[in-house]
Structures are given as C-alpha cells and as structure tokens.
Amino acid sequence: MTSAEVDLYQAILARRSVRRYERTPLEPEELAQVRAVIAGVRPLITENRYHVLLRDLPAASDLTAALGAYGRIANPPHVLVPYLLGDRHPLVDLGFRTEQIAVRLTALGLGSCFIGCLGREAQVRARFGLPPSTHVAALLVFGRPSGATAARAVNALVRELTGATRKLPAHRVFFDGDFSRPAAPPPDLAPLIEAARHAPSAVDAQPWRFLWRDGVLHLFVRRRNPRYGPGRSQSYRLHDGGVCMGNVALALEALGRHGSWIVYEDDEADLLEHPESLAPLAHLELERQ
Ligand SMILES: Cc1cc2nc3c(=O)[nH]c(=O)nc-3n(C[C@H](O)[C@H](O)[C@H](O)COP(=O)(O)O)c2cc1C
C-alpha cells in the first residue's frame, strides 16, 4: 500500500464521531479540500442525483437541539446537508455516499458527526430550502476537533482518538456458509469486515450482518433495531447499511482491490435463506485478486 492508501485505511478505522469543535471556521483552502472530497464521492446507484450543501453555522446555533436530535454537539463551525433526488434505495445511497465524505474528512485531520433527521425531513427541507421531493437522512457537522493540534497526519488523530470501542467484533457479525453460527472471516475478507464493523450508525445500533457464501459477500441488516426507536427511525437500518457499504468500498480502494455493491431488489432477495429477523440489503461482487 502507498502511504495515501495506508492513510485511507487508517482513517476508516480511526474515525470516531467528534462532538466538540474549535469554534473557528476552517480556512478557505481547507474548505476547498472539503469541496473536492464532496466532488469525488462515488455513487451506489448511478441514476440517483446526490448533492451536498455546505453551510457555516452561527456561533450560538445548537443544530442538534433545533432538529430535535439526540446528544449535544458543541460548536461545530460548519455543516453538510446531503440530499438525494431519485427513488431507488435513496437511504442506502445517502449513507453510502456521505460516509465517504466522513472518512475522507478524518484523513484530512477534520472531525465530523452525523446528525440523523429521519422523521424530521420536512423541518430540514424547510430550514435549508430543499424541494419536497428530495430525500434527506442525516446532516454531517464538521470542523477542527477541539483540543486537536494542527497536525493533519491521520496518525496524530489515531492517537488522540483511540479508546475502547463498543463495536461488535467481527466474529459476531460475520457468518460463513449459512447462519448457523458466527465465524471469523477468512484472511482475504478480514480487512473488509474490519472496515465494515467500524462504521458509524445512529445510536450505535450496528444493524449489519454478513454472510459469505460461494464467493459472494451478502450484507443483511436487522429488521427491528430497538435502539433506533419507533416509527420512521427504524429506517436508519437502510441508511446505516449504506454507511457500512461505504466503508467497504473505501477499504477496497485503499487495498487496491476491485468490487462493487449491488443492492437487492425485493423479489430476488427472497432466494437467500436467512433468519426472519434479518433483511438482505446488498451483495458485493469482488473481482478476483
Ligand atoms: C445516521 C446517523 C445519525 C446520527 N445521529 C446522531 C445525533 O443526532 N447525535 C449524536 O450525538 N450522534 C449521532 N450519530 C453518531 C452515532 O451516535 C455514532 O456514530 C455511534 O455512536 C458510533 O460512534 P462512532 O461514530 O464514534 O464510531 C449519528 C450517526 C449516524 C450514522
């Protein structure tokens, strides 16, 4: 791996939600880098149109409170508002694309945090002037993490941010052959599963489960995730499944491998034998190494 590739893979694993920011806005050159990251995002469903607004946040604004989201996020100087036009798997695609931005911001030494807005879409569209037909699922606040040095190197961030992680271990989310019992992933898949399980998810619900069968990696999400809460919030499983797929796509890039995610349409997914509690979301077509 080149050092840029190492940085990308490290950034996937090192990224944590940052909830305290330096108040100072980023420099114009830094914002230009953020815009370049946005411009480089790869699609999941090519016919969907993905756009991202970049807005400064006034000093006293408390976006999390204003949007009724959980947690307290102190002083983020900027926010991204990703939205999508198109009706094929919009939530999965939003998660897939916005996670690429989140990881690449980490690689630039910047902190970020998603703020989920499912159930509050109308409020978000009104606040940011988006047309009613747009899909929104989460905003991404970003800036310089409070107390961070100016160092851009990912390694510095890794040191600052390391700590116990509550992420489910690979051997709890990965199944080999069938769903009878979880297993450790084989060596060539292990770095992809490692990237996947580090994905962020609303209230850290981690809905993803993987089935490796006949050389294909299938992604499932738990149908019911009590942590998400009732009603519309249950649909975070689709967004967060997409986030997890975004991490795998970035890991493939970092490892110099090729593959693409194909999202299941309803009828074909039923061909896979699986527990009722899981819903098939997508499978990964990996090119042989
Ligand atoms: C769709 C989505 C919505 C989220 N919404 C919020 C939020 O409203 N407030 C918050 O503090 N964190 C929010 N988060 C951050 C999660 O709590 C965080 O990703 C999870 O706890 C895992 O921690 P980590 O990102 O540090 O790995 C959200 C994350 C995602 C993916």
Q: Where are the domains of the chain?
A: 3-161, 170-286
The residue whose CB lies within 8 Å of the most ligand 1 atoms, and thus the one to mutate among 99, 167, 204, 238, is 204
What phi, psi does 212 have (nearest 5°)?
Answer: -105, 115
**Beta strand segments in the chain, E:** 49-56, 78-85, 111-116, 138-143, 174-176, 208-213, 216-222, 259-263, 278-286
* pLDDT tens-place values along the chain, 289 residues long: 666 666 999 999 999 998 889 999 999 999 999 999 999 999 999 999 999 999 999 877 788 787 877 777 888 999 999 999 999 999 999 999 999 999 999 999 999 999 999 999 999 999 999 999 999 999 999 999 987 554 344 444 444 454 446 899 999 999 999 999 999 999 999 999 999 999 999 999 999 999 999 999 999 999 999 999 999 999 999 999 999 999 999 999 999 999 999 999 976 766 788 999 999 999 999 987 6
CATH class of 170-286: alpha beta
Q: What is the pTM of this model?
A: 0.93
Asked whether the beta carbons of 179 and 274 are under 8 A apart, the reply is: yes
3-161, CATH topology level: NADH Oxidase (3.40.109)
- Give which of 194, 203, 206 is closest to 247, Cα–Cα: 194
138 lines ligand 1 (CB under 6 A): yes
| Type of residue numbered 136 | V
Helices and strands in the chain, H and E counts:
10, 9
